[in-house]
Every structure is written in C-alpha cells, then in structure tokens.
Amino acid sequence: MELRTLLTSRKTLVLKIGDVENQIRGSLCLFGIELGTAKRRTFSERVRELTADLPRVAAILDVLLQAHAAMLLSLDRLNRMVPEIAREHAVCRKLMTVPGAGAVVGLTFISAIEDLARFAKSRSVGAILGLVPRKHQSGEIDRNGRITKTGDTEARAALFEAAHVMLHRVKKWSGLKAWATKTAQRQGNKRAAVELARKMAVVMHRMWVDGTTFRFSAVELRPPPPRRHLTVCRDRGWVSSASKGRPHWDGREVKPE
C-alpha cells in the first residue's frame, strides 16, 4: 500500500502541474501572447517576462506561478523517494534489469501485482492488466478486437512506455527486442509496442517468481553441447567422431604423412 500511495501521489502532482501550466497558457492566449515551448524549470521566468507590460495580469498569474513552484518542490521530494525505495526493494532491482524498465515501472508493476499467488501462470498477467485483445465469437464469426484495457491503468501505461523505450531507444539487442522489431515491420509500431508490453508483463512476473534477472539472449538457457571425441585411423585414411558414445564417420579424409 505504501508503494501505491507514493505512485498515486506522484501522478497527481504531475497532472496538477500540467493543469496549472495549461491554465496559464490559455490565459495568456486571451491577450495575444503565445508562450511557445518552455521547459518546466524555466516556465515561471518565461511567463513573468512576457507579462512584464501587463502588471495586473502578472499579479493574477503570479498566484498560479507560486502554486506551480510549490508543487514542483513537492514533486522533487517524491522523485527522490522513488529511487531510494527501489534500491531497498530486492524484487524491484531485478525488474529494473529489463531494458526500458526503470524504478517507476518496477514499483508500479509490483504495486499492481501485489501477491504472486494471484496468478497460477505468468501468461495470465497480460489479461489481468488489459493487454490482450477482445474476442468476438458468434456462430462462425471469430475475430479479435482492440485490447480490453481492464485492470490497473497505471501499470498498463507504465508497461507501454517501457515497451516503447525498448523498441525505439534501447540500443542493446535482446530476443525480446528482436521479436518486437519483426512485429513492428508486419503490424506497425503501435501494435508492436502493445504486444511487447504484454510480453514484458509476462517476463517480469516470471522473473519475480524465479528470482532471476533479465536474460538478453536465449543462449544463456541452453546447456553446453556435448564434447565430440575424434578418432584418427591412418591405416584407412578417415576420421571418426563420437557423440554420446555413438561413433560415426563424418567424411573427413586424413592426408598420409
């Protein structure tokens, strides 16, 4: 519950800061002032600079700017708490090894799942988070629709953002990224990001259950190949190799000395 409180409070501040900025932009448009692109940290300075010739408007908007600055300070405090909690959480540290998944994604996923016993199979997580397509079946009709969008909205949004980062920003290749890239070539980037988000949810749940970190390649799971013992028969001029105790001729000729 602590994680849920932290994440929802942070999300509320982000939304309210955006509401205040949009309100100020709309008010400036009434006076023919276009704010344009402004960074969040320099937003107040830019507004005061543009309203220097309108003292009454500047006094009105200054109240909103003070609230904007106070919410930014509160958001900074919560943002500093997120990585601290993530470092102390052993499961979150392992989930953060997934490319594109940071502290916010890991904590959001943990708060959405809560209890591992809720899911008998990891592939059920995608359905619970609303990342599977709708099914419409009637008689001979059987078609898939859009995703259901049921369950935790914040977890679904966090997984989609993480999938987008893995697909477009992460440079290191993995089996998951290669699969998503091929899917994007067939169906487009948006559908590939949604399908990748579902697969990431399944993988992250399995990592949590097994207590493992993310594997970039399936080669890490394969056992080493058996050693092949070569037997040289120079009298007959050929080489035999044995694998698992079954010798066979591999067609290699031996040059005479």
Amino acid at 43: F
Structure tokens at 7: 């994440």
Residue at which a domain ends, from 88, 121, 155: 88
pTM for this entry: 0.78
Pair 20, 111 in one domain: no
Pair 209, 133 in one domain: yes
pLDDT tens-digit readout, 96-129: 999 999 999 999 999 999 888 888 899 999 999 9
pLDDT tens-digit readout, 124-181: 999 999 999 998 888 888 888 899 999 999 999 999 999 999 999 999 999 999 999 9
Angstrom CA distances, 174 to 123, 149, 156, 208, 216, stand at: 20, 27, 22, 19, 4
Pair 131, 184 in one domain: yes
pLDDT of residue 135: 85
Q: At what angle do helices 189-210 and 153-168 cross, to 10 degrees?
A: 110
For 16-30, b/e burial (b = at least 16 CB within 10 A) is ebeebbeebbebbee
Pair 197, 137 in one domain: yes
In a domain, 125, yes or no: yes
Residue at which a domain ends, from 36, 55, 88: 88
Pair 115, 181 in one domain: yes
In a domain, 98, yes or no: no
pLDDT of residue 117: 84
Residue 248's domain comprises: 225-257
Q: What's the structural domain count of the chain?
A: 3
Pair 210, 146 in one domain: yes
**With 50 as the cut, is the pLDDT of residue 182 above it?**
yes
In a domain, 204, yes or no: yes
In a domain, 93, yes or no: no
In a domain, 94, yes or no: no
pLDDT tens-digit readout, 35-61: 888 888 899 999 999 999 999 999 999
Pair 116, 194 in one domain: yes
Pair 144, 57 in one domain: no
